[in-house]
Amino acid sequence: MSEKKGHPKEIRADIAAVQRLEYWNIAWTISIVAAMGLAMGGSQAMKTAWVEDTLGLVPPIAILVALRYEARASNRRYHYGFDRVNGLGFLIAAVALAAVGLVLLKNAVGTLITADHVTIGSTRIWGHDVWLGWFMLAAQAYATIPPLIIGRKELPLARRLRDKLVHTDALMNKANWQTGVAGFLGVAGLGLGFWWADSAAAALISLSIILDGWKALRVATSELVDGIPCELGESRLSDDANAVARALRKAFPKSRVLMRETGRYMRAEVVGASPPKGFDVMTFEIPGLEDRWRLDSVAFRP
Amino acid sequence: MRHAPAAGWTSPLDLGPRSAFPSGMGASSRAFLICLGLAALLPACGAYPRDIDGTSERVRAAGIVRVGLIAGPATARDRALIGAYLGRVGRAAGAAPRIVTGGAEPLLAGLEADRLDLVLGEIAADSPWVSDVAVIEPLAERVIERRRIGLSPIARNGENRWIMLLEREARDMKAGG
């Protein structure tokens, strides 16, 4: 937990699983970036999808860095530990994601307005001339597989760990197949002679990047401005936090209960009450709180 | 005797949204399979890839390739090379070349405006035209002041089938085929 070294023992196995998964995520994403980079040629949709895939490296790296920092004990400079490192990393990534998405959207819309025609040539392999579009289609098809598998594996871990970063990455991975399909249809449409197909696909992919950035920005800013502990992917108070607030209000009826989220942990503050003698947050009875490890501390402000 | 459908599959007559796929299959898996199916069907569309403005079909139908030859020393020096290439392209496209000669700028502008199907001449690797037209691998090349200048066939962007034909003939000629 935040002021202690390491992660709570209840979640250590899941933390290790997330770390393993994110290393796989990085390896697969690099393979996709390489395949798309080799095949992209002059296709706007391929270039845009390549940028999105490259940016897809940011969340897993942020997750691994954040987990490493989160496990560190508090020190003289950081009394509350490093629970919020993932929020900080994610904020930077979210701004970059949204900005790149806007630039790519501008390029795609510009190409649509000027009606630029995209050339995809051929290469000679073992005496046969092969249209480079086939390599693009194969790369796009390949690029849909790893996000599909990793996104599905991330979701249950994110729920158990209450990890917004992993959850957002899972949603981004889940949305990536749409990107893959859009890019695929763009190149396929270009091969059928539809000049607009490639740029239209690039515009769609750019919108997906902007949406990813916007989602990540909401998650990051909510935590940085001391927002309430929310359900993953929702803006309502989480059931866990609700249980804590209910129990504290019941124990201290004339007080006001404030709650905030730091990383995966919740902190509560009871305003207008003093802590009873011998009050221990670990033994304080909270009906309905399934994951006790989530409650980091309860502070009192008389 | 009627058999129950295999586990995990719905009847093909079931018009529900998942009727053609295993019931446990997610949207992403279906999308992936649809992509693969589409890719498999593309060659069945006949000429694939197609030209955006239909140059290949028009050349074949008219029996004429409208060629712009960029005037310059290369045109005289590489006359045989240019003649051989145009001969190959004409045979492959089933059309005869109709040649006009002129400066690079008006010919390339004519290519962009669909008044020409092919421009042949010297163009630098870093020419500003490179992004506006499809410059095909050169038939011959020389270096002037560290700048590579190729005697290249040039086509209109997006005419992908036509560009493939021009590329194939350039490669075959360089390979001595």
Give the CATH number for residue A152: 1.20.1510.10
Together in a domain, A27 and A161: yes
A232 within domain boundaries: no
The per-residue pLDDT for range B33-60, each reduced to its tens digit, is 666 666 666 666 667 899 999 999 999 9
Mean of per-residue pLDDT scores for chain A: 86
Q: Which of B152, B160, B162 to mutate to test the interface with A (most CBs of A within 10 A)?
A: B160
Mean of per-residue pLDDT scores for chain B: 80
Together in a domain, A208 and A248: no
Return the residue of A nearest to B172 by Cα. Answer: A127
User: Is the CB of A180 less than 8 angstroms away from the CB of B35?
Assistant: yes
Residues B145-160 have a mean pLDDT of: 91
Residue B28 has pLDDT above 70, yes or no: no
Together in a domain, A197 and A244: no
Together in a domain, A56 and A93: yes
Q: Which two tokens stand for residue A41?
A: 């040629």
Q: For this complex, say whether ipTM is above 0.85.
A: no
Together in a domain, A83 and A23: yes
Last residue of a domain, one of A169, A200, A224: A224
Together in a domain, A46 and A146: yes
Q: Is the peptide bond before B22 cis (omega within 30 degrees of 0)?
A: no
The residue among B17, B115, B8 whose CA lies nearest residue B67 is: B115
User: Is the CB of A188 less than 8 angstroms away from the CB of B136?
Assistant: no
Together in a domain, A260 and A151: no
How many folded domains does chain A comprise? Answer: 2
A125 within domain boundaries: yes
Q: With a cut of 50, list the residues of chain A below it in pLDDT.
A: 1
User: Is the CB of A133 less than 8 angstroms away from the CB of B160?
Assistant: yes
Together in a domain, A256 and A141: no
Instruction: Give pLDDT, residue A62.
Output: 87
pLDDT-based confidence at B155, cuts 50/70/90? very high
Instruction: Give pLDDT, residue B15.
Output: 33
A231 within domain boundaries: no
pLDDT-based confidence at B17, cuts 50/70/90? very low
Together in a domain, A251 and A197: no
Range(s) of the domain holding residue A148: 9-224
Find out whether A18 and A166 touch, Cβ atoms under 8 Å.
yes
Distance CA A94, CA B11 (A): 45
Together in a domain, A208 and A286: no
Identity of the amino acid at A174? K
Last residue of a domain, one of A200, A224, A248: A224
User: Is the CB of A185 less than 8 angstroms away from the CB of B38?
Assistant: yes
Q: At what angle do helices A164-191 and A145-161 cross, to 10 degrees?
A: 160
Number of C-alpha atoms within 13 angstroms, CB side, residue A241? Answer: 23
Instruction: Give pLDDT, residue B4.
Output: 37
Instruction: Give pLDDT, residue B16.
Output: 36
pLDDT-based confidence at B90, cuts 50/70/90? very high
Instruction: Give pLDDT, residue B9.
Output: 35
pLDDT-based confidence at B176, cuts 50/70/90? confident
pLDDT-based confidence at B30, cuts 50/70/90? low
Together in a domain, A152 and A291: no
Q: Which two tokens stand for residue B75?
A: 């045109």
Together in a domain, A137 and A205: yes
Distance CA A183, CA A167 (A): 25
Last residue of a domain, one of A224, A257, A277: A224
pLDDT-based confidence at B177, cuts 50/70/90? low
User: A–B: how many Cβ contacts below 8 A?
Assistant: 98
Distance CA B121, CA B70 (A): 5
